[in-house]
Amino acid sequence: MNYFLLGIVFIVYFLMVGYVGYLAWKRTNSSEDFMVAGRQTHPYIMALSYGATFISTAAIVGFGGVAGKYGMGILWLAFLNILIGIFIAFVFFGKRTRKMGKNLNSLTFPEFLGRRFNSKFIQYFSGILIFCAMPIYAAVVLIGAARFMESSLMLDFNIALLVLAIVICGYVLFGGLKGVMYTDALQGTIMFVGMLILLVFIYWVLGGVTEANTALTNMAHLYPPDALAEGGTGWTSFPKFGSPFWWSLVTTTIMGVGIGALAQPQLAVRFMTVKSNKELHRSLLIGAIFIAVMTGTAYIVGSLCNVYFYQNFGQIAIDYVGGNMDSIIPTFISTALPEWFVYIFLLSLLAAAMSTLSSQYHTQGTALGHDIVDAIKNRGKSDEYSDEEIIDTTAKEESRLGFISISQAGILIAVVLSLVIGLVLPGGIVALGTSLFMGLCAAAFLPVYCAALFWKRATKQGAIAGLLSGTFTSLFLLVFVFKKTATGLGICKMLFGVDMLINTMPWYAIDVMIFAIPVSAIFTVVVSLLTQPMEDNILKRSFEGLSKD
């Protein structure tokens, strides 16, 4: 290993990140700057920040590893990422979120939902859910980057986790969302270039697109026996319809992540950072190209790793790495590519991890400092917002130091939690952890978020019912029904003596989101129709100017 070259690459990278973080810190002068980047973000920065937050090491290492073991069926996730995560999110959700967020002077996603339905409880509960659940997602992102550092730099896994967390924590603490988004744009650019080079390289080393894909198809007889038993058919074909593998791939991986992206708090808040719909429209194409290259490359390269490892070492990918899916992409990079590119791609993975983690830490910190702490401060007061709380932003600036300092404490707590969880989670957990978090967010927030944006008849009581029913339905199914989590947690086994309450196909293999989202939507609609409509002044304030868009 050329430590001199590695040192040069790292020094240049961290100098760039440090400089960009410094610029963000200098330009962070208000609570609006810290929370929503001043609502004046450039389209390129917004698109790259959204994409870099969306695509982390979970996508590159975790889902790339899933493709390495199970094949290219996961490419349908790339399609949904673009269709739902970019096009539908920007065109239908983004414009309304931006305008309504500005009308309501919202600085966070929980505050947006709370003010739209005039309920502080919704803000508090959403903040608690985010702060408690997101550390798991942050932990798997940390694991993805640390695994690559472990395999390519021979660095101790625990030390890699610690170094990553400390570096990211520094610029998030002081730069706020501006610091996050500025560094995201830099890191997203590095990620994009690195993944393009990787895509070209694997087809070049395997003799071309047709030759590589044909070779992978012809290796179907080497497909992992455990995947065949679950319904798999090969690396270039879809699993058998209705099999456990089919239900897992379609409902957990493809739908869980593809649809779940719409209700990600750290993504939704990005829409509030731009000045007008014009900036959103300009961001759309940039974001779509970025997501297509990042996800498509990860899934294609992961699958084709099998051809490379078999031709060169006589083993398929999952066998060569000792059974840990999270090690397939890192091992291929460190084994097959020139040493100089290993360092470049390491930066790509670091950028992917740092961009996503910085957003997660910022979201958790603001959830504590801006959304949860108010619950204690306002105990005993009305659950509704006064006009002064929504219209008058002076109080926010007067208390800026207070809630920003609490948010910074929340960031530190989030870093520690993700480190601890990262140390105890088992191998091969990256993709599953990402899917479960996105599914939980979709179940808890998506029906309520849709109602907030598109249905004036939705009421506070309906939104609370939808939020609670989606959350607790998800948690119940995760603990007692969904096989992958129920068996891992062991709570069902401890209480009832069985791994899961339902042991028949396909019920234990269907992602919890498929059940929890309809439950949440039904509760939201039915309770809203049974309760009094919201006051006209709240609806007028929320929807003002939307008809012009």
Q: Give the model's pLDDT for residue 162.
A: 78
Which is the CATH superfamily of the domain at 3-225+259-430?
Sodium/glucose cotransporter (1.20.1730.10)
User: Which phi and psi (to 5°) does residue 514 adopt?
Assistant: -65, -30
Q: Which of 209-216's residues contact partners 24+ apart within 8 Å by CB, and which partners? A: 212/304, 212/307, 213/304, 215/307, 215/311, 216/72, 216/303, 216/304, 216/306, 216/307
Pseudo-torsion of CA 459, 464, 467, 471, nearest 10°? -160
Count other C-beta atoms under 10 Å from residue 283's C-beta.
Answer: 27
Residue-by-residue DSSP string for 317-351: HHHHTTT-GGGHHHHHHHHHS-HHHHHHHHHHHHH
Cα 398 to Cα 400: distance, rounded to the nearest angstrom:
6
Q: Is 455 helix (H, G, I), strand (E, B) or coil?
A: coil
534-to-56, 80, 116, 256, 445 alpha-carbon distances in Å: 40, 35, 10, 32, 20
Q: Is 43 helix (H, G, I), strand (E, B) or coil?
A: helix
Q: Do residues 225 and 402 lie in contact, with contact meaning Cβ atoms separated by under 8 Å? A: no
Q: Give the model's pLDDT for residue 347.
A: 74
Helical pair 120-153 and 460-480, crossing angle rounded to 10 deg: 40
pLDDT tens digits for the chain (549 residues)? 566 666 677 677 777 777 776 676 666 665 565 555 566 778 888 888 788 777 766 667 777 888 888 888 877 877 887 888 888 888 889 889 888 888 888 888 898 999 999 888 998 899 998 888 888 778 877 776 777 667 666 677 778 777 777 777 765 665 556 667 777 788 788 888 888 888 998 999 898 989 998 999 999 888 888 888 888 888 888 888 888 888 877 877 777 667 777 888 888 888 888 778 888 888 888 888 888 888 888 889 989 999 999 999 999 988 888 887 878 888 888 888 887 777 777 777 777 777 777 777 878 888 887 788 765 666 556 667 666 566 554 444 444 444 456 777 777 887 788 777 777 666 555 555 666 677 788 889 999 999 999 999 999 999 999 999 999 998 898 888 888 778 766 788 888 888 888 888 788 888 888 899 999 999 999 999 999 998 888 888 888 877 665
Closest Cα to residue 411, out of 465, 360, 478, 481? 360
- Environment class of 39 (CB within 10 Å of its CB; exposed 0-12, middle 13-18, buried 19+): middle
Q: Do residues 261 and 85 lie in contact, with contact meaning Cβ atoms separated by under 8 Å? A: yes
Q: Is 535 helix (H, G, I), strand (E, B) or coil?
A: coil
pLDDT in tens, 9-33: 767 777 777 777 667 666 666 556 5
Q: Give the model's pLDDT for residue 79.
A: 82
Q: Give the model's pLDDT for residue 2.
A: 65
Cα 533 to Cα 292: distance, rounded to the nearest angstrom:
42
**Residue 533 DSSP class:** P
What tokens were used for 278?
Answer: 């014009």
Residue-by-residue DSSP string for 158-224: HHHHHHHHHHHHHHHHHHHHHHHHHHHHHHHHHHHHHHHHHHHHHHHHTTSHHHHHHHHHTTGGGS-
Residue-by-residue DSSP string for 258-313: HHHGGG-HHHHGGGGGSSSHHHHHHHHHHHHHHHHHHHHHHHHHHHHHHHHHHHHH
Helical pair 120-153 and 400-424, crossing angle rounded to 10 deg: 50
User: Which phi and psi (to 5°) does residue 233 adopt?
Assistant: -125, -10
Closest Cα to residue 10, out of 342, 290, 298? 342
Q: Do residues 166 and 410 lie in contact, with contact meaning Cβ atoms separated by under 8 Å? A: no
144-to-55, 321, 356 alpha-carbon distances in Å: 12, 15, 12
**Where are the chain's structural domains?**
3-225+259-430
Cα 439 to Cα 54: distance, rounded to the nearest angstrom:
14
Q: Do residues 271 and 280 lie in contact, with contact meaning Cβ atoms separated by under 8 Å? A: yes
Q: Which of 394-398's residues contact partners 24+ apart within 8 Å by CB, and which partners? A: 396/31, 396/32, 396/105, 396/107, 397/30, 397/31
| Number of Cα atoms under 13 Å in the Cβ half of residue 343 | 15
User: Which phi and psi (to 5°) does residue 56 adopt?
Assistant: -120, -170
Cα 269 to Cα 271: distance, rounded to the nearest angstrom:
5
Q: For residue 147, what are the contacts with CB-CB under 8 A and spacing of at least 6?
A: 61, 157, 326, 327, 330
What tokens were used for 171?
Answer: 């610029």
Q: Do residues 218 and 306 lie in contact, with contact meaning Cβ atoms separated by under 8 Å? A: no
Count other C-beta atoms under 10 Å from residue 15's C-beta.
Answer: 10
> Which pTM was predicted?
0.80
Region of residue 241 (phi > 0: left; psi between -120 and 50: alpha; otherwise: beta): beta
Dihedral sign for Cα atoms in the order 68, 74, 77, 78: positive
